[in-house]
């Protein structure tokens, strides 16, 4: 698979995504608002009867719809929706503020032990949820009170208790103070913990049992399992939702529940256990209706804007994700004989990933090799593409929710990939990205291995990158006139991306496009690091030092140097390099090999005598490549 990185968002892009996410949330919440109000009315009807706000119990969802429409009109079905929509924006902002902090506290990975990962996931979700709720809970309270402010024609004089959102705050603060706005807060937090615990626990337990045999890799089976677990976890935690909303309903009344336990025991004693589940059916119906509208709206965004802005209910998106939004990329026609298809991840950059399927049918989950191709294929995107790709990769591999882990999970659901059996590989500049991935990635399971074919990135501080060449160095070909490439090498005004293939050669074997020669010019002039880091003059400063080390490089660029992050936990590594490589010198692989051996990391270096760059395109090396692939296969087959 090719690099499928995600770029860091600019403030403008973030603001657009944030606002469009709000529009998406508003669409989702507004479309489901009538069912949401019916659910709240049924859920809290007994409290409303006690307060004289409802003449008689509802007989079900249909009866509640009919009576509400008859007594209050069609528009009343959206009562309380404004507070629900407004709540999205501070909630999202708070999520951005809290999620990374709590992940750093509880962010265990599965290789740290399943139960530590499970407990950390539940704890981080509960802590982040409680922190966000602390700021936005009053809006949920106001939404609940407005939605349950029924206008009964038979009882209560047909008068509403509240005249709007502001009136809810004013009257509650006057009668109960701040505490009135936070009734039910504790069961809300407990409900988050219970839901997350059940969701992750049940899903992880059922997935290896249910999704086997004929159901292995089935979209529909994956959707049904995810939706079933979502509904199950929602039903199991639903009594806590009922308790918290019943506690909300007592603000402004003479009698309050003493605690969530007191509320639960009184409700069960007077109304029965099933009273805790009133409105659960409407809640499930709301999820289905909202998911359908949301998927249609996402499709509309894709057509209009070329991307989807996320928003709306998290649980709603989880329930439809395995089916309606199973993969965050677009299928494209593949050009290969073997079973394959091409995926496009980043629409702005046009980054592609080719997924090659097994040639034979299989029933078991399969391993995967994540492969980055060489930098020559990026010729149309120069001049600072290496820096962009490297930073994209770092961001993508270190992201917990939208990067490597999410991509492997989503692709794995479709292709039955085993996330604990992943090897990263690359060739030439792609090997550099591979090293960064192995150093920076935080996957749920440790990577099984690293394969590098004539890879750069083992040591960027050797003369090959820093010194100007005065005689032919690349395959014995004449030096190039750098003045012919001034426009292409302009860092302040990089050239536009061109369409069509630039990987074409004339009859004389010379590249058809000058863009294909840019990297060679960088090496010839000793300025490659200027373009890797985006720091003009860096190469010149390092050239003045006798033996520069990475400590001589400004710290803001260290993330681009693989050796900075090398530790003894680096995956087992296989390096393959030709001794006569003139594009990427074998000294780089030798330097990396020495570092890894010193750290006691399993590493083997295959030195191919007399071989140049891209030697693996020649059939004469099949025997060597068989040895290499047997090593990779061994990594993947280890239990």
**Where do the domains of the chain lie?**
12-79+288-307+317-325, 80-106+124-182, 188-278, 341-459+561-638, 461-497+508-560
CA proximity to 213, closest of 351, 365, 336: 365
Confidence of residue 343 (pLDDT cuts 50, 70, 90): very low
- Decide the pairing of beta strands 449-453 and 573-578: parallel
pLDDT digits (tens, 9 = 90+) for 203-224: 666 766 776 666 655 556 766 7
Residue 199, exposed/middle/buried by CB under 10 A (0-12, 13-18, 19+)? buried
The token duo for 597 is: 């051996």
DSSP state letters, 85-153: HHTHHHHHHHHHHHHHHHHHHH---GGG-HHHHHHHHHHHHHHHHHHHHHHHHHHHHHHHHHHT----S
Q: Measured between alpha carbons, how far is 326 from 317 in angstroms, rounded to an integer?
A: 11
Count the residues in the chain. Answer: 639
pLDDT digits (tens, 9 = 90+) for 116-131: 766 776 777 777 778 8
User: Where is average pLDDT lowest: 21-25, 276-280, 348-352, 408-412?
Assistant: 348-352
Q: Which strand ranges, in their side-by-side order, compose the sheet holding 340-346?
A: 330-332, 340-346, 351-356
Q: Quick one: pLDDT at residue 217?
A: 53
Q: Quick one: pLDDT at residue 404?
A: 67
Q: Quick one: pLDDT at residue 294?
A: 47
More confident residue, 497 or 429: 429
pLDDT digits (tens, 9 = 90+) for 154-167: 544 567 888 889 99
Q: Quick one: pLDDT at residue 377?
A: 54
Q: Does the pLDDT value for residue 338 go beyond 50?
A: no
The span from the first CA to the last CA of the chain, in angstroms, equals: 24
DSSP bridge partners of 422: 368
DSSP bridge partners of 254: none
Q: Quick one: pLDDT at residue 66?
A: 93
- How far CA 565 is from CA of 50, 560, 568, in Å, comes to 65, 10, 10
Q: Does the pLDDT value for residue 367 go beyond 80?
A: no
Averaged confidence pLDDT in the chain = 76
Confidence of residue 568 (pLDDT cuts 50, 70, 90): very high
CA proximity to 103, closest of 95, 93, 111: 95
Instruction: Identify whether the C-beta of residue 372 lies closer than 8 Å to the C-beta of residue 2.
Output: yes
Q: Quick one: pLDDT at residue 43?
A: 92
- Decide the pairing of beta strands 340-346 and 330-332: antiparallel
Q: Quick one: pLDDT at residue 78?
A: 93
Instruction: Identify whether the C-beta of residue 552 lies closer than 8 Å to the C-beta of residue 542.
Output: yes
> Residue 616, Cα to own-chain centre: how many angstroms?
35
Q: What average pLDDT score do residues 10-17 get?
A: 60
pLDDT digits (tens, 9 = 90+) for 477-531: 899 999 988 877 876 776 665 554 545 666 666 666 777 788 889 999 999 998 8
Whole-model pTM: value is 0.48
> Residue 628, Cα to own-chain centre: how many angstroms?
32
Q: Quick one: pLDDT at residue 332?
A: 34
> Residue 458, Cα to own-chain centre: how many angstroms?
29
Q: Quick one: pLDDT at residue 313?
A: 40
Q: Quick one: pLDDT at residue 517?
A: 83
The token duo for 307 is: 């991307």
Q: Quick one: pLDDT at residue 376?
A: 61
Q: Measured between alpha carbons, how far is 553 from 436 in angstroms, rounded to an integer?
A: 17
Q: What average pLDDT score do residues 170-192 get?
A: 92
Q: What average pLDDT score do residues 414-431 get?
A: 80
Q: Does domain 341-459+561-638 correspond to CATH entry 3.40.50.1400?
A: no
């Amino acid at each position: 698979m090719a690099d499928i990185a995600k770029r860091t968002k600019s403030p403008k892009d973030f603001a657009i995504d944030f606002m469009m996410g709000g529009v998406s949330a508003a669409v989702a919440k507004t479309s489901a608002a009538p069912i949401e109000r019916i659910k709240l009315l049924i859920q809290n009807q007994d409290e409303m009867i006690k307060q004289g706000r409802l003449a008689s119990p509802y007989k079900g969802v249909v009866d509640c719809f009919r009576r509400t429409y008859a007594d209050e009109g069609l528009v009343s079905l959206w009562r309380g929706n404004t507070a629900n929509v407004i709540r999205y924006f501070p909630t999202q902002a708070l999520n951005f503020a809290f999620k990374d902090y709590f992940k750093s506290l509880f962010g265990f990975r599965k290789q740290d032990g399943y139960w530590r990962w499970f407990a950390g996931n539940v704890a981080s979700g509960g802590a982040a949820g409680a922190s966000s709720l602390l700021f936005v809970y009053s809006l949920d309270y106001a939404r609940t009170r407005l939605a349950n402010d029924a206008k009964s024609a038979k009882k209560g004089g047909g008068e509403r208790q509240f005249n709007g959102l502001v009136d809810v705050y004013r009257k509650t603060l006057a009668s109960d103070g701040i505490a009135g706005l936070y009734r039910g807060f504790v069961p809300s937090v407990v409900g988050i913990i219970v839901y997350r615990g059940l969701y992750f626990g049940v899903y992880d337990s059922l997935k290896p049992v249910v999704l086997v045999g004929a159901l292995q890799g089935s979209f529909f089976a994956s959707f049904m399992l995810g939706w079933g677990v979502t509904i199950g976890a929602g039903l199991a935690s639903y009594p806590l939702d009922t308790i918290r909303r019943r506690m909300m309903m007592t603000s402004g009344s003479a009698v309050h529940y003493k605690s969530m336990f007191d509320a639960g025991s009184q409700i069960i004693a007077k109304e029965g256990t099933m009273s805790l589940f009133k409105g659960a059916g409407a809640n499930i119906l709301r999820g289905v209706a909202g998911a359908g509208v949301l998927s249609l709206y996402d499709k509309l965004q894709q057509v209009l804007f070329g991307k989807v802005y996320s928003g709306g209910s998290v649980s709603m998106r989880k329930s439809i994700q395995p089916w309606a939004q199973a993969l965050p990329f677009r299928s494209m026609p593949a050009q290969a004989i073997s079973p394959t298809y091409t995926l496009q991840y980043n629409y702005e950059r046009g980054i592609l990933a080719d997924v090659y399927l097994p040639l034979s049918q299989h029933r078991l989950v399969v391993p995967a090799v994540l492969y980055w191709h060489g930098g020559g294929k990026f010729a149309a995107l120069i001049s600072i593409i290496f820096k962009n790709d490297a930073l994209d990769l770092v961001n993508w591999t270190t992201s917990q929710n939208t990067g490597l882990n999410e991509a492997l999970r989503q692709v794995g659901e479709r292709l039955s990939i085993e996330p604990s059996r992943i090897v990263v590989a690359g060739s030439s500049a792609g090997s550099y990205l591979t090293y960064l991935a192995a150093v920076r990635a935080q996957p749920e399971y440790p990577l099984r291995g690293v394969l590098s074919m004539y890879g750069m990135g083992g040591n960027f501080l050797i003369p090959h990158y820093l010194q100007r060449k005065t005689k032919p160095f690349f395959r014995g070909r004449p030096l190039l006139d750098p003045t012919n490439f001034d426009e292409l090498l302009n860092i302040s005004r990089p050239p536009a991306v061109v369409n069509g293939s630039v990987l074409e050669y004339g009859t004389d074997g010379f590249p058809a496009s000058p863009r294909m020669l840019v990297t060679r010019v960088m090496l010839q002039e000793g300025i490659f690091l200027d373009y890797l880091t985006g720091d003009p003059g860096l190469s010149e400063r390092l050239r003045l030092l006798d033996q520069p080390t990475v400590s001589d490089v400004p710290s803001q660029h260290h993330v681009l140097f693989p050796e900075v992050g090398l530790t003894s936990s680096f995956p087992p590594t296989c390096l393959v390099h030709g001794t006569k490589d003139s594009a990427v010198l074998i000294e780089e692989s030798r330097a990396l090999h020495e570092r890894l051996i010193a750290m006691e990391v399993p590493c083997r270096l295959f030195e191919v005598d007399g071989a140049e760059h891209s030697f693996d395109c020649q059939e004469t090396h099949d025997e060597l490549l068989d040895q290499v692939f047997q090593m990779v296969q061994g990594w993947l087959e280890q239990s």
